[in-house]
Amino acid sequence: MLKKMPELPEVETIRLQLDQKIKGLKITEVEVLNKKSFIGDFGEVRGVRVVGVRRRAKITIIELEGGVYLAIHLKLTGQLIYREKNQRLKTKDQKRGPYEVGELPNKFTRVIISFDNGGKLYFNDLRIFGWIKVIKDVREIGEDKLGPEANDEVSFSREYFKNILNKTKKPIKLVILDQEKLAGVGNIYANESLFDAGILPTRPSSSLSGEEIRKLRNSIIKILNDAIIHKGSSDNDEAYRQITGEKGTHQNYLLVYGKSGQRCPACGGSIKRIALGGRGTFYCENCQK
């Protein structure tokens, strides 16, 4: 089975939805059900109002009044689910599998944040790799070590991309997965972007021509933005859910990721799978050069 950590589109979907729901609300209580899942003093955020929700790379950041933040990393199996006061469960996605949300709290709920409108934000995490952290400075999440956001057309400029690629012979897929070079791209969207641009994932980065760099940058931005429109990807074995508890839908639009042995949608050839940097890598040897 493939396992995918939420990437930029999934975290951005959560950010957009949370910002709409909790901006302006006051945190009334924080219930920590597993100490490993919450780092810091929850007393610092109790009674504090939410200014807004932002994102950096794969981390959700809830900004609070007074210069305090809640940084949240979902890791592999984390979920952020918001329920209004007295909200009845409407999602149909509750019948099977360890990641189905169902009624809350459930046995995988690690932290519950309550708000003054009666709503609650549930942090679920089956494997307890994810975390919520109270911070006073966003640099505490290592922001100074992160590259530009991969869907930001200004900071992720063609000139910037060209400069980082020309400096290394590492396989191009490994470079675009490097969060210090480019923030937010993970395995699924690296595969899809390289296919869209017609570039082999094993190609040495410094071998890309100026035109190939342009095409790949455009493909990365397009693929990520399309995935945000479709509210992220969550296949059957993946934990990611929108804050409603519903799955994303972009898995229905994937062309090569997870499709080893299937026909290439462009040429009809066979999709290949190799391991690159320890990650499943999918490509068409006819379409990608």
Give me the residue spans of the domains in the chain. Answer: 8-145, 158-283
Q: At what angle do helices 8-22 and 210-229 cross, to 10 degrees?
A: 40
Are 246 and 206 in contact, with CB atoms under 8 Å apart? no
H or E segment and range at residue 210? helix 210-229
What is the pLDDT, as a whole number, of residue 1? 43
What is the pLDDT, as a whole number, of residue 98? 76
| Superfamily (CATH H level) for 8-145 | MutM-like, N-terminal (3.20.190.10)
What is the pLDDT, as a whole number, of residue 238? 81
Give the architecture-level CATH label for domain 158-283: Orthogonal Bundle (1.10)
User: What distance lies between CA 281 and its chain's CA centroid?
Assistant: 18
- CA end-to-end distance (rounded Å), the chain: 28
As annotated, the active-site residues are: 6-7, 58, 279
120 forms beta bridges with: 83, 114
Fold equal for 8-145 and 158-283:
no
What is the pLDDT, as a whole number, of residue 244? 95
Per-residue pLDDT of the chain (289 residues; tens, 9 = 90+): 455 789 999 999 999 999 999 999 999 999 999 999 999 999 999 999 999 999 999 999 999 999 999 999 999 999 999 999 988 665 555 455 778 888 899 999 999 999 999 999 999 999 999 999 999 998 899 888 999 999 999 999 999 999 999 999 999 999 999 999 999 999 999 999 999 999 999 999 999 999 999 999 999 999 999 999 999 999 766 899 999 999 999 999 999 999 999 999 999 999 999 999 999 999 999 999 9
What is the pLDDT, as a whole number, of residue 143? 82
Residues in the chain: 289
Q: Is 246 exposed, middle or buried (0-12, 13-18, 19+ CB in 10 A)?
A: middle
